Amino acid sequence: MSPPISTRRAGSDMNVQSIIPVFDPAGPYAGSITTLSWVLIAMAAGVFAIVLAALWIALFGSARLKARLGGPVLVWAGGIVFPVVVLTLLLVYGLSLTRNLTAPVPEGAMRVRITGEMWWWRVAYLDRQGRATMTDANELHIPTGQPVLLELESNDVIHSFWVPRLSGKLDMVPGRRNRLPIQADRPGVYAGQCAEYCGGPHALMGFVVVAHTPADFAAFMAARRAPRSAAARDGAGAALFRQSGCAACHRIAGTPANGAAGPDLTHVGSRRSLGAGILPNNKGTMIGWIGDSQSIKPGNRMPSYKMLSAQQLDRLATYLDAQK
């Protein structure tokens, strides 16, 4: 069995890349889209070259070439026949190349419901009946070598889910459930981004997909379902978490905290990032986020807790860091 992928990075070893590669597919769904993209780029370059050649003839060509360029045969051939034939062939080729995006996934494939929020992602792992068995936020874990069906929804405005190396982009529309298959053929961390302007800190609405080998994924899920430690349930940090009003918006499984307005914090200590992909996850950034999230991500719906002392912020960060 290969070494498990760490579910966390510290310090400057940030999991979300500032520049997300879009022409480096890591799975079959992204592969077909990348191939089509290169074909379109090549065709655009060819058409641009033809236009430049025609422009050169129009400006500097001989009278005979200019006459032929403006003749009825070339106008009909270049203005009607060529576009109709080329665009028809491109349509047929594109639909056949990307048909895997609309093909049904195998029965029994892993299903995950991802709900777009302003400005973060709600993640729910589903059983075969469509019931949520585990919840998380801003991070998705999947096994390699098999398709995963994402059920995409939105609770407020239109968002768009896009992990370029794993699949295409698909809108998340309020009141509607769209489905998108993704697949990673090798273990790794794949960055994503909301690709539809959704107001405020839209540009800071990132996402992470962590792909494990099947054996490592099974071990990861088993660890997530294991009983919570005492440090994750009790202590001075737990009391402060409730007293400060955090439990009104956030849930931590196995504790009285059962808020649903904000991200589920049951496993926040093991996530690779904070603030939906904008900060590396460590105790220092956790303190900074709790104390002044509005300076880090202006307009997000979590208030800054500047009234808390340094000791209180440290206590809260220690408690949340224990939520593995």
Per-residue H/E/C for 241-306: HHHCCHHHCCECCCCCCECCCCCCCCCHHHCCEECCCCEECCHHHHHHHHHHHHHHCCCCCCCCCC
Burial of 141 (0-12, 13-18, 19+ CB in 10 A): buried
Judge whether 158 and 170 are in contact, CB under 8 Å: no
Q: Which of 205, 90, 226, 83 has the alpha carbon at shortest distance from 156?
A: 205
Report the alpha-carbon distance of residue 287 to residue 305 in Å, rounded: 10
- Parallel, antiparallel, or unpaired: how do β-strands 120-126 and 132-137 relate? antiparallel
Class of CATH domain 230-321: mainly beta
Q: What residue type is assigned to position 270 of the chain? A: S
Tell which residue, 182, 148, 156, 150, has the closest CA to residue 167. Answer: 182
Q: Are 155 and 117 in contact (CB under 8 A)?
A: yes
Query: What's the CATH number for 110-222?
Result: 2.60.40.420
**Model's pTM, two decimal places?**
0.85
Mean pLDDT computed over every residue of the chain: 89
Could you give the CA distance from residue 71 to residue 46 in angstroms, rounded to a whole number?
22
**Run of H or E residues at 219:** helix 214-225
Place of tokens 């904000």: 262
The continuous run of DSSP H or E covering 188 comes out as strand 188-194
- Contacts (Cβ under 8 Å, ≥6 apart) of 243: none
- At 9, the pLDDT band (50, 70, 90 cuts) reads very low
pLDDT tens digits, 184-242: 999 999 999 999 999 999 999 999 999 999 999 999 999 998 887 776 677 778 999 99
> Does 22 have pLDDT greater than 70?
yes
Structure confidence by residue, pLDDT tens digits, 72-87? 888 888 888 988 999 9
Indicate the pLDDT class of residue 11, thresholds 50, 70 and 90.
very low
What is the C-alpha separation between 228 and 213, in angstroms, rounded? 25
